[in-house]
């Protein structure tokens, strides 16, 4: 029996195990929406296509599965771009399906036609324009395969309306054959041997972990590796939750707003073992002074990440699980040397402990105004390890990274590479859709919240009980901080002159709103908010000009940290 | 340093824009690019002339390879290969310079492919350096129009290919 293109698309999604779809209808996807009624796929109607893509992204980050979003052509498609770029920068597995005008009209400036393939080319892992219904199953199969394998990323499928309406027999291919795409998953054993030699010879080694560990679900392997050699571990923002912060070997985050001891350890190290990280400029600071004494081992699935920004002494291309397992196995061949190493590193660990004691992560407490860091600390106290925290972008994001002790992988969802304000709320929506029973909390700023606040409606409609903590400084705080420190306090366009009544805003959507400016009430408000069913906004009017510290000014070396302002 | 890179790609819709977009988006240099299908009509072979230091060239080959539609990347630099380019040169040749133009074309083993009372169009093939030399010599006579194909390259014998994959 023949099926329409839109039915075939939905059959493919079912075959791929897609349970939840985030999207927004329109003229060129109306056929898909018509058929969707008959398929066992849960669709969540966001209030903006950007939010649909961020929601699919949050879903993917929280589960490790491929997130799927659907949008119409033209403005629907262009609205997805920020979401796609965001997923691309953080290597999130996603498939985005856009409707397109009928093939015969492509290129005619037809109503709601845009060249979305062209527009998104630099921010997708790959993309397809489906011109023949017979290619559709193969393309969808490939799209999911490409999205989730190798270094994951978003794949866009542009589906013209006439292809959706054409008829064909449905047959889903069971194998993927792409001759130009064979991600290398096996770490080269000779490189592994060399790495182990370098590790055994190190005096001041540091493990520097990036989002790759989260993406490949290898936090267990990482933990085993670090504990075996007793080498301190620092993580990027993207790897935050993949190594328990409370672990004695944990140095917390490195980079621009990293801990003093993480940055000092990296600068003094003689061996940097980079695992699934890409030496982003927010991590390295000034490149010419970065880790000057260190030999660098760089493990990554993506060869282009290696030697892109920094010199590398030993590259290992491969899947992190394979490489970490091989490293552990190789180390286990020399149990005596490993023991000696682990104990020889004691002075190094003591040095780091001293840095930690002299410069712990801290802030000046207050009894008269709410310190934003205090809210994060209290939030940590009143939630369990299982809670999923998302953030927007700004100071509140950095404070969450600094003061929340993550211990479970995939519990910290934040926009790292693109730094997208407006990511937190829709990604929380997606995570909550994936995990209805878990606590999902968006830590937000007053500025970022207003970039996708319309999603409150989606939360209420689908009974997604996301809790929202707004650290309201009535400023675009992070930009204000830069203006204060580097532009003579000329606060150009960073003060949000109009105070928003977030309680009323919540109520307008049928959600609950709580607010306080009293530090003594912080815990009570958090507890009450978390216990209240349904979506809740908890607004904390915080001290307005608090700064995120320490800070490595842009273009400075990691050891040129400003510790307090 | 100049590098000549061959890229075997799927003969698919939009591949050229992926490659050229990669170069422009990442700030890589692209001096020449030629592309045509191979014996297997489902693949095309591109020849790209680019330049950069070792680190940049390494990134270029890796990034090219990373594209899903790329099947093979070969950097011919430092290898034994044959490189040929074709040029069509319309020379303003009147009266006294007509004979001179023909002589020069002959020396460079060029062919006259179009003749008018006021011009000769010369077809020449050879290494890019040879084409450069021919152009320099014809320039004083007066070149009205010039089109170059950009080089195509192939390894010599069975060996001499450095596969960057
Ligand atoms: C979409 C977008 N636009 C602009 C920026 C630049 N930016 C980075 S942080 C920031 C301020 C964020 O303000 P808010 O959400 O209130 O957080 P705060 O820093 O005050 O905690 C801005 C404007 C951005 N990251 N994303
Ligand atoms: Mg703010």
Torsions phi, psi for A395 (to 5 deg):
-60, -45
Q: Is B25 left (phi over 0), alpha (psi -120 to 50) or beta?
A: alpha
H/E stretch holding B113: strand B111-116
| A49 labelled catalytic | yes
Nearest residue on chain B to A180, alpha-carbon basis: B71
The shortest C-alpha distance from A188 to chain B (Å) reads 15
Contacts of B43 (CB under 8 A, 6+ apart): B8, B9, B10, B11, B37, B71
Pocket of ligand 1 contains residue A409 by CB under 6 Å: no
Q: How far is CA A560 from CA A355, A360, A362, A552, A556, in A?
A: 15, 16, 18, 6, 6
- The pLDDT score that the predictor gives to residue B159 is 53
CB-side neighbour CA atoms (13 Å) of A232: 30
The pLDDT tens digits for A239-292 are 999 999 999 999 999 999 999 999 999 999 999 999 999 999 999 999 999 999
State the Cα–Cα distance between residues B125 and A544, nearest whole angstrom. Answer: 71
Torsions phi, psi for A58 (to 5 deg):
-60, -40
- pLDDT surpasses 60 at A521: yes
Nearest residue on chain B to A117, alpha-carbon basis: B14
Give the pairing type, strands B81-92 and B2-10.
Answer: unpaired
Question: Per the CB < 8 Å rule, is A121 touching B17?
Answer: yes
- The pLDDT score that the predictor gives to residue A384 is 86
Q: Of the bound ligands, which one is closest to the alpha carbon of residue A474?
A: 2
- The pLDDT score that the predictor gives to residue B161 is 47
What angle do helix axes A320-331 and A219-229 make, rounded to 10 degrees?
A: 30
DSSP A288-320: GGSSTT-EEEEEES-GGGTTSSS--SEEEES-H
Q: Of the bound ligands, which one is closest to the alpha carbon of residue A450?
A: 1
Pocket of ligand 1 contains residue A83 by CB under 6 Å: no
The helix/strand/coil state of A203 is coil
State the Cα–Cα distance between residues A310 and A220, nearest whole angstrom. Answer: 27
State the Cα–Cα distance between residues A427 and A415, nearest whole angstrom. Answer: 10
- Closest in B14, B66, B69 to A304, CB measured: B66
Question: Per the CB < 8 Å rule, is B59 touching A304?
Answer: yes
Q: How would you write A217-247 as a 3-class SS string? A: CCHHHHHHHHHHHCCCEEECHHHHHHCCCCC
State the Cα–Cα distance between residues A120 and A69, nearest whole angstrom. Answer: 15
Residue A43 or residue A498, greater confidence: A43
CB contacts of A117 in chain B (<8 Å) are 14
Residue A233: beta bridge partners? A207, A250
Ligand 2 center to residue A500 CA distance, Å? 12
| A423 labelled catalytic | no
The shortest C-alpha distance from A129 to chain B (Å) reads 8
Closest CA to A471 of A384, A565, A391, A389: A391
State the Cα–Cα distance between residues A45 and A461, nearest whole angstrom. Answer: 9
Pocket of ligand 1 contains residue A420 by CB under 6 Å: yes
Question: Per the CB < 8 Å rule, is A307 touching B55?
Answer: yes
| A111 labelled catalytic | yes
Q: Is the dihedral of CA B119, B125, B131, B134 positive or negative?
A: negative
Question: Quick one: average pLDDT of B120-139?
Answer: 97
How high is the mean pLDDT of chain B? Answer: 93
State the Cα–Cα distance between residues A47 and A201, nearest whole angstrom. Answer: 56
Q: Which residues surround ligand 2, an ion (CB under 5 A)?
A: A 445-447, 473, 475, 477
State the Cα–Cα distance between residues B144 and B121, nearest whole angstrom. Answer: 10
Contact (CB, 8 A) for A365 and A374: yes
Q: Which long-range contacts (CB under 8 A, 24 or more apart) does A244-253 make?
A: A244/A405, A244/A406, A244/A407, A245/A405, A245/A406, A245/A407, A246/A405, A246/A407, A247/A223, A251/A206, A251/A352, A252/A361, A252/A402, A253/A401, A253/A402
- The pLDDT score that the predictor gives to residue B165 is 39
- Least confident range from A91-95, A126-130, A535-539, B12-16: namely B12-16
Pocket of ligand 1 contains residue A416 by CB under 6 Å: no
Question: Per the CB < 8 Å rule, is B14 touching A304?
Answer: no
- pLDDT surpasses 70 at A184: yes
DSSP one-letter code for A270: S
| Chain length of chain B | 165
- pLDDT surpasses 60 at A141: yes
Evaluate the omega torsion of the peptide bond into residue A25 and state whether it is cis, within 30 degrees of 0: no
- Closest in A121, A179, A304 to B63, CB measured: A304
Closest CA to A532 of A404, A439, A431: A439
Ligand 1 center to residue A181 CA distance, Å? 37
Ligand 1 center to residue A391 CA distance, Å? 11
CB contacts of B18 in chain A (<8 Å) are 121
The shortest C-alpha distance from B76 to chain A (Å) reads 20
The shortest C-alpha distance from A182 to chain B (Å) reads 9
Q: Whose CA is nearest to atom 11 of ligand 1?
A: A476
Grade residue B96 by pLDDT with cuts at 50, 70 and 90.
Answer: confident
H/E stretch holding A350: helix A346-358
Q: Which long-range contacts (CB under 8 A, 24 or more apart) does A341-345 make?
A: A341/A199, A341/A200, A341/A202, A341/A229, A341/A230, A342/A228, A342/A229, A342/A230, A344/A203, A345/A202, A345/A203, A345/A204, A345/A205, A345/A229, A345/A230, A345/A231
Ligand 2 center to residue A546 CA distance, Å? 10
Query: C-alpha A120: how far from its chain's center?
Result: 19
Catalytic residue among A125, A141, A161, A245: A161
State the Cα–Cα distance between residues B86 and B122, nearest whole angstrom. Answer: 10
State the Cα–Cα distance between residues B151 and A1, nearest whole angstrom. Answer: 52
Question: Quick one: average pLDDT of A232-242?
Answer: 97
Ligand 1 center to residue A417 CA distance, Å? 14
Ligand 1 probe mutation, A447, A449, A542, most atoms within 8 A of CB: A447
Question: Per the CB < 8 Å rule, is B21 touching A304?
Answer: no
State the Cα–Cα distance between residues A547 and A397, nearest whole angstrom. Answer: 12
Question: Per the CB < 8 Å rule, is A307 touching B58?
Answer: yes
**Residue B78: Cβ-neighbour burial (10 angstroms; 0-12, 13-18, 19+):** exposed
- Least confident range from A68-82, A459-473, A530-544, B148-162: namely B148-162
Edge-first strand listing for the sheet containing A440-445: A412-413, A388-391, A440-445, A467-472, A536-541, A512-516
Ligand 2 center to residue A468 CA distance, Å? 14
State what percent of residues in chain A have pLDDT above 90: 98
Which of B59, B62, B70 should we substitute to test contact with A (largest number of A Cβ atoms within 10 Å)? Answer: B62
- pLDDT surpasses 60 at B160: no
Q: How far is CA A548 from CA A176, A333, A361, A418, B76, in A?
A: 48, 45, 11, 19, 51
State the Cα–Cα distance between residues A552 and A564, nearest whole angstrom. Answer: 11
The pLDDT tens digits for A69-113 are 999 999 999 999 999 999 999 999 999 999 999 999 999 999 999
- The pLDDT score that the predictor gives to residue A379 is 98
**Residue A88: Cβ-neighbour burial (10 angstroms; 0-12, 13-18, 19+):** buried
Closest CA to A255 of A565, A520, A52, A548: A548
Pocket of ligand 1 contains residue A448 by CB under 6 Å: yes
């Amino acid at each position: 029996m023949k099926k329409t293109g839109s039915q075939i698309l939905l059959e493919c999604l079912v075959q791929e195990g897609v349970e939840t779809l985030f999207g927004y209808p329109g003229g060129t996807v109306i056929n898909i929406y018509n058929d969707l009624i008959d398929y066992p796929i849960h669709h969540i109607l966001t209030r903006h296509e950007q939010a649909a893509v961020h929601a699919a992204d949050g879903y993917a980050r929280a589960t490790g599965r491929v997130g799927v979003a659907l949008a119409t052509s033209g403005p629907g498609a262009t609205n997805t771009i920020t979401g796609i770029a965001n997923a691309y920068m953080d290597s999130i597995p996603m498939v985005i399906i856009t409707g397109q005008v009928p093939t015969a009209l492509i290129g005619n400036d037809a109503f709601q036609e845009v060249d979305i393939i062209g527009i998104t080319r630099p921010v997708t892992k790959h993309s397809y324009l489906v011109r023949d219904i017979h290619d559709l199953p193969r393309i969808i199969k490939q799209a999911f395969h490409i999205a989730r394998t190798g270094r994951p990323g978003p794949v866009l499928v542009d589906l013209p309306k006439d292809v959706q309406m054409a008829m064909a027999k449905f047959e889903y291919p069971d194998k993927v054959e792409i001759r130009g795409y064979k991600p290398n998953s096996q770490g080269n054993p000779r490189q592994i041997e060399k790495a182990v030699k370098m590790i055994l010879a190190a005096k001041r080694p540091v493990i520097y972990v990036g989002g790759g560990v989260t993406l490949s679900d290898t936090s267990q392997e990482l933990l085993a590796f670090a504990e075996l050699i007793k080498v301190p571990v620092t993580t990027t923002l993207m790897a935050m939750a993949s190594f328990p912060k409370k672990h004695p070997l944990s140095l917390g985050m490195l980079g621009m707003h990293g801990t003093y001891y993480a940055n000092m350890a990296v600068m003094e190290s003689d061996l940097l073992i980079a695992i699934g990280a890409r030496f982003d400029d927010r991590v390295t600071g000034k490149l010419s002074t970065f880790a000057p004494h260190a030999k660098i081992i760089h493990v990554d699935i993506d060869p282009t990440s290696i030697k892109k920004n920094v010199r590398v002494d030993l590259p290992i291309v491969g899947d992190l699980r394979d490489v970490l397992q091989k490293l552990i196995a190789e180390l286990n061949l020399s149990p005596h040397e490993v023991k000696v190493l682990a104990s020889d590193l004691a002075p190094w660990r003591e040095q780091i402990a001293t840095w930690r004691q002299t410069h712990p992560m801290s802030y000046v407490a207050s009894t008269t105004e709410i310190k934003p860091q205090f809210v994060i600390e209290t939030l940590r106290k009143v939630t369990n390890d299982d809670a999923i925290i998302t953030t927007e972008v700004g100071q509140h994001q950095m404070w969450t990274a600094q003061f929340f002790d993550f211990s479970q992988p995939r519990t910290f969802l934040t926009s790292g590479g693109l730094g997208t304000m407006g990511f937190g709320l829709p990604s929380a929506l997606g995570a909550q859709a994936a995990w209805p029973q878990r606590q999902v909390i968006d830590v937000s700023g007053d500025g970022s919240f207003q970039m996708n606040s319309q999603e409150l409606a989606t939360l209420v409609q689908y009974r997604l009980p996301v809790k929202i903590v707004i650290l309201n400084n009535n400023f675009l705080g992070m930009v204000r901080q830069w203006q204060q420190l580097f532009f003579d306090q000329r606060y150009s366009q960073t003060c949000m002159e109009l105070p928003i009544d977030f309680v009323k805003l919540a109520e307008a959507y049928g959600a609950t709103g709580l607010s306080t400016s009293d530090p003594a009430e912080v815990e009570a408000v958090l507890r009450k908010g978390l216990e209240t069913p349904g979506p809740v906004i908890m607004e904390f009017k915080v001290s307005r000009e608090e700064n995120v510290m320490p800070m490595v000014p842009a273009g400075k070396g990691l050891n040129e940290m400003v510790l307090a302002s | 340093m100049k590098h000549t890179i061959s890229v075997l790609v799927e003969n698919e819709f939009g591949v050229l824009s992926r490659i050229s977009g990669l170069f422009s988006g990442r700030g890589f240099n692209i001096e020449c690019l030629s592309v045509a299908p191979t014996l297997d009509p489902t693949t095309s072979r591109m020849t790209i002339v680019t330049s950069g230091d070792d680190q940049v060239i390494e990134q270029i080959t890796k990034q090219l390879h990373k594209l899903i539609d790329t099947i093979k990347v070969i950097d011919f630099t430092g290898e034994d290969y044959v490189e040929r380019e074709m040029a069509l040169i319309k020379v303003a040749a009147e009266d006294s310079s007509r004979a001179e133009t023909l002589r020069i074309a002959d020396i460079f083993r060029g062919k006259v492919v179009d003749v008018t009372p006021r011009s000769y169009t010369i077809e020449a093939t050879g290494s890019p350096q040879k084409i450069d030399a021919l152009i320099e010599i014809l320039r004083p006579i007066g070149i009205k129009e010039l089109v170059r194909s950009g080089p195509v390259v192939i390894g010599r014998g069975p060996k001499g290919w450095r596969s960057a994959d």
